[in-house]
Structure 1
Amino acid sequence: MKINISDQALQWFKDEVGLSEGGKIKFYSQIYGCSPVQENYSLAFTVDNEPVDLEVYTEIDGITFYIEGSDVWFFNGHDLHVDYNEKKDELEYRYTK
């Protein structure tokens, strides 16, 4: 499993969330919602200080994007692609095998 962050999404995290080198974003599953990989669950993120059970991560410009072991089940073997949709002014998540 991999996490892919587009250049536009990275810039969104820097501008909107105020991330800089040393920052960390944790992606996690939350009940309620819908996703292409899990019914009744959706993906969320939070600015986090230190991972508890780091399982999957990528680092770009000194910013770590990660998923903990307790949330890997959500992805059902899919890679996560995070992009920014300029028209909607929001992040978009895609999942690929």
Structure 2
Amino acid sequence: MLLTLNRKGVQMMEITVSDAAIKWFKDEMNLQPGEGIRFFGKVYGRTNVHEGFSIGIAKEIATKPLVRTEIDSLIFSIDQTDDWFFAGYDLQVDYDAQKDEPIYHFEATPAHSAS
């Protein structure tokens, strides 16, 4: 887990990834140590906080990371260009065994939930 702070020292967001989700990314996307997953916002679908948008994934590392988390030698990141989609939320990534795919949950960051 990585805690990202802005210039004023206020928490921006964090990414957490469950062990089961990490295993899925390793197995299904053939991730090797030092490689990563970039999460991004895409049109169509829904999340628990977005209507008409969902999360996409790419086997790459953000070039200008908004947040970057290293777990088990894998890098999970979000690019600054996707701030519009992730701003104000922490991203929790887990695994749905019935669907055999990652699941995503957004939680308001403490700075935003207190406002």
TM surpasses 0.5: yes
Q: Percent of aligned pairs with the same residue?
A: 42
How many correspondences in the alignment? 96
Deviation at 1:87, TM superposition (A): 1.9
CA shift, 1:37, in A, is 2.1
Unaligned runs of 5+ in 2: 1-12, 109-115
Counterpart for residue 45 of structure 1: 57
User: What is the CA-CA distance between 1:18 and the residue it aligns to?
Assistant: 0.5
Separation (CA, whole Å) in 2 of partners of 1:86 and 1:36: 19
2:90, 2:100 → 1: CA distance? 23
User: Who is 1:67 aligned against?
Assistant: 78
User: Which of the numbers 86, 94, 100 marks the counterpart of 1:83?
Assistant: 94
The secondary structure found in structure 1 opposite 2:45 is coil
Higher relative contact order (CA 8 A, sep 6+): 1
Deviation beyond 4 Å, 4+ runs, structure 1: none
Output the amino acid matched with 2:24.
W
Residues 31-40 or 74-83, more deviating: 31-40
> Contact 2:47–2:105 (CA<8 Å) still a contact in 1?
no
CA distance in 1, matches of 2:96, 2:44: 23
1:37–1:76 contact (8 Å) kept in structure 2 = no
Query: Which sections of structure 1, spanning at least 5 residues, go unmatched?
Result: none
Q: Is the 8 Å Cα contact of residues 57 and 65 (structure 1) preserved in structure 2? A: yes
Counterparts of 2:62 and 2:92 in 1: how far apart (Å)?
Answer: 20
SS, match of residue 8 in structure 1: helix
Following TM superposition, by how much is the alpha carbon of 1:38 offset from its aligned partner in structure 2, in angstroms?
Answer: 2.1
2:42 is equivalent to residue 17 of structure 1: no
